[in-house]
Amino acid sequence: MLPQLAGEIRAFLVERVCAVGGHLGPNLGVVELTLALHRVFDSPRDALVFDTGHQAYVHKLLTGRQKGFVGLRQEDGLSGYPSRSESEHDLVANSHASTALSYADGLAKARQLAGEQDRCVVAVIGDGAMTGGLAWEGLNNIGAARERRVVVVLNDNGRSYAPTTGALSTHLRTLQKGGRAQTYRNVFTDLGFAYVGPVDGHNIAELEQELHRARQMDRPVVVHVKTVKGKGYGPAEQDEADHLHAVGVVDPVTGRAAVAALGTAGTSSPSPARSWTSVFAGALVEVAVRRPEVVAVTASMLRPTGLGIMAERFPERVFDVGIAEQHAVTSAAGMAMAGLHPVVAIYATFLNRALDQVLMDVALHRLPVTFVLDRAGITGPDGASHHGMWDLSVFSTVPGLQIAAPRDPVQLTELLDEAIALDGPTMLRIPKATASPGMEALARMDGIDILHRSSARSLDVLIVALGPLAAQALKAARELEEFGIGSTVTDPRWILPVNPALPALAARHRLVVSVEDNLRQGGAGTALLEACQDTGVTTPVVRLGLPHAFIEHAPRQQLLERYGLTAEAITNAVLVARSAPAPPSPMWASAPLAARAPSAATPPKTT
């Protein structure tokens, strides 16, 4: 009966996930393991914490959420990760890796204090997540408390996105080859754990036996489970790149995109509809060919961040450090000290975890490290934990860090070149989207691109658009002209710190509107407002950006519309601001803008 149920669950997952997109491979690999966990442990009385949460689809099915898979990762539908609002069985809304063991440590301490030591705490963590430093901090504390009942289930499939790297991976392979090695000394026993395994993660009877055994121990236990990512689904098992880790809408028979995807990251397709990631991938290789000091670093996201091509071309110059963002940044600092120029490619939401390293290990030493933040801004179906909406607010606090946002592929290549030429820390942010069509500048003024300019006698509104949102700003400018409102649309290119020419340009207009897919608080618009105040420019600044909230999952474009980052919203913001009571008179300048032809400008230096 149980093998039949496992097969039915796999068929259900393939059907539903292929229809709407989501994390397929990781969940196909934990079907039997999740069945066994729910048969041995009593959720929610026993705490089940999944790390990372993208392997929790089977858990959702077994806790009564089958109908919700129709709207998986869609607006008002089931989250792609555990969600406290969905079920009492989801303790942690967990989607950033390496956190489950620390949660488990805290839960176990609380239950010990409450005299509830008959309740188990179970942390399910993949071998990829175990490469993160926080996981080892958790192990260090759990293993030291011999009387607490914590079961660490190590789901070892040999990979996160790609095969796991480093000494831990080698150690786990050794344990697997050693067979049932409970009596052998290993890294976990040395840290104070009992060790059970390795266990066949697709044999439910064996899993139940060993999990029962672990449950009965009144001490911390590691249960080492061997699984196969994508198990039971031919296209996933045969996909050597990532075993269909995360998919869009795909053909369930072949596992291939239902509509041919263009410009996939890690390819060199010349398709005109390329992703931002693939544009960066090509641009980085071009720079690496010319500049031998350029190396690339990522945290277990080689292909998702576009480093696949460079890894194939220059394998000795690309370093995947595992899910260890803090280490990635400080290791890059060490390379920069030795004369290299590291390009650190990490998702925007994940670099938040390494703020201290960016601040104290890179910026304090004024080291030439370039950070490329993939998935910056609204990402869509992965929801609150994955929107890259914090980076400008967080990293604007770092002295000496210069941040750019390309509006189109040409600018991405140009800005990457400029970043690597600078002798200090730099950052580029790119969204999870199809790259914008080219937007040629009318002129470049002190490093700022002028994309649109109405009559010089009608300098009503200055629209400062960040990155790809320039396309919406240009559309808004045309709409405003229908209302008889003239405008200037600028792309600052280097957005932080604020170019001194931007407040001077603001002084020539009656209103400034900034547009960014980042928090309004502490973002680029706030920095511009402060720069205007510091220089005595009284032109009102309207800041359009994302609210100070955790934003739900929904398609990217839908969320941009909801939060006012469209041409229509920009136009409405201008109309509303113009109808408000007039502020004190700004400094006017009736002369035409003193612009010059575009050139390879260097961003302003910080002082």
- Please give the annotated binding residues for Mg(2+), written as ranges: 127, 157
Note if 325 is an active site residue.
yes
- Distance CA(517)–CA(546), nearest Å, equals 6
Task: Give residues with Cβ within 8 angstroms of 561, minimum separation 6.
Answer: 569
Residues tagged in the binding site annotation = 54, 95-97, 127-129, 157, 233, 325
Q: Which of 395, 385, 405 is nearest to 359 (CA)?
A: 395
DSSP 587: P
DSSP 292: T
DSSP 70: G
- Distance CA(490)–CA(449), nearest Å, equals 6
- Distance CA(253)–CA(12), nearest Å, equals 13
Distances (CA, A) of 560 to 117, 451, 510, 551, 565: 47, 22, 26, 11, 5
- Distance CA(345)–CA(372), nearest Å, equals 5
> What angle do helix axes 31-40 and 2-20 make, rounded to 10 degrees?
120
Note if 429 is an active site residue.
no
> What angle do helix axes 567-579 and 470-482 make, rounded to 10 degrees?
50
Distances (CA, A) of 336 to 249, 315, 369, 391, 483: 41, 19, 7, 22, 52
Location of structure tokens 């919406």:
472
Sheet holding 47-51, edge to edge: 47-51, 121-126, 150-156, 221-226, 194-200
Residues tagged in the binding site annotation for thiamine diphosphate = 54, 95-97, 128-129, 157, 233, 325
Instruction: Write the secondary structure of 200-249 as one string of H (helix), E (strand) and C (coil).
Output: ECCCHHHHHHHHHHHHHCCCCEEEEEECCCCCCCHHHHHCCCCCCCEECC
- Distance CA(540)–CA(474), nearest Å, equals 20
Q: Are 594 and 501 in contact (CB under 8 A)?
A: no
> What angle do helix axes 204-216 and 2-20 make, rounded to 10 degrees?
100
Which of 111, 353, 375, 444 does the annotation list as catalytic?
Answer: 353
| Radius of gyration for the alpha carbons in the chain, expressed in angstroms and rounded | 26
Amino acid at 188: F
345 forms bridges with which residues in the sheet? Answer: 298, 372
Phi first, then psi: give them for residue 356, nearest 5 degrees. -60, -40
Which of 60, 65, 148, 229 does the annotation list as catalytic?
Answer: 229
Token pair listed for 36: 């066994």
Note if 552 is an active site residue.
no
- Distance CA(52)–CA(185), nearest Å, equals 27
Phi first, then psi: give them for residue 385, nearest 5 degrees. -75, -15
**Residues assigned a catalytic role:** 229, 325, 353
